[in-house]
Amino acid sequence: MKTIITLLALAGLALAPITSNAQTDKKWSVDVSLNALAAGLSGDVTVKGIPANLDVGFDQVLEHLNAGAMGAVRVGYDRWAINTEFIYMDLGGSQGGARVDFEQLTVEPTLRYRVCDYFEALAGARYNNLSGSVSLTGPLGTQRASSGTVDWWDPIVGGVVRLPISKKFSVNVHGDIGGFDVGSDLTWQAFPYLNWQISRRCSVQAGYRWIFNDYSQGSGRSKFRYDVLAQGPQLGITLHF
């Protein structure tokens, strides 16, 4: 976590001159977004050989969310852009005698190219860092418990489709796919949303996001698996510089 904080600080220092240039060169742009995602989780997890089922609907997320943050920074020049998104969630819950606690950090840097006014191609990576614990409870109390931390990188490719419906509103669809057995067996994301350009400096977004990961490593008592779909409504606000 200290390394991530250091990298974010360095990124902020690196963005300072670019933001200054953006004031004088219209080809440059800097966008900063803050988002709120009510993500429900469903699937199977295994921590050090102990399996458990995870099923938390997005309508129950506030009951299980200990902490969360989500946002993105985009720096563009002409048709090119570098976009970095991060998602942090600390979730915990119990079901059927099993308790699962997960702390997840996802960082997604991508290089993007605007092919035309309606389509932007992207390629990059998705970094996942998971700290999880699973405990199984029987009539005599906790019988088995295990915890562990893993991290991995997934290459991803995809694009964003933008369909304007008026001067201030547009329908957008973000989609990507990756993993390819480099990290996860498979990872994909889909995010259709409505964008409202309130002013030249500010826009808001509302949509529904799906993020899927199927990752595993090890075997037996050292096995870790994360086969989970996160989905739910997302709201966001973006400041344009």
pLDDT (0 to 100) of residue 134: 76
- Determine the pLDDT at residue 57: 65
Is residue 41 within 8 A of residue 230, CB to CB? The reply is: yes
**Residues 6+ positions from 205 with CB-CB distance below 8 Å:** 33, 35, 172, 193, 194, 195, 196, 234, 235, 236, 237, 238
pLDDT of residue 91: 72
**Rounded Cα gap, residues 165 and 171, in angstroms:** 7
pLDDT score at 238? 98
Three-state helix/strand/coil letters over the chain:
CHHHHHHHHHHHHHHHHHHHHHHHCCCEEEEEEEEEECCEEEEEEEECCEEEEEEECHHHHHHHEEEEEEEEEEEEECCEEEEEEEEEEEEEEEECCEEEEEEEEEEEEEEEEEEECCEEEEEEEEEEEEEEEEEEEECCEEEEEEEEEEEEEEEEEEEEEEEECCCCEEEEEEEEEECCCCCCCEEEEEEEEEEEECCCCEEEEEEEEEEEEEEEECCHHHCEEEEEEEEEEEEEEEEEC
- pLDDT computed for residue 5 by the predictor: 45
What's the angle, vertex CA 53, arms to CA 50 and CA 59, rounded to 5?
145
Given this model, what pLDDT does residue 95 score?
61
pLDDT of residue 8: 45
At 103 the pLDDT is 85
What is the model's pLDDT at position 61?
53
> What pLDDT sits at residue 20?
47
What per-residue confidence (pLDDT) applies to 205?
A: 98
Q: Which stretches of the chain score pLDDT less than 70?
A: 1-26, 56-67, 92-98, 138-144
- Which pLDDT value is given to residue 49? 80
Burial category of 50 from C-beta neighbours within 10 Å (exposed 0-12, middle 13-18, buried 19 and up):
buried
**CA neighbor of 208 nearest in space, from 185, 225, 227, 233:** 233
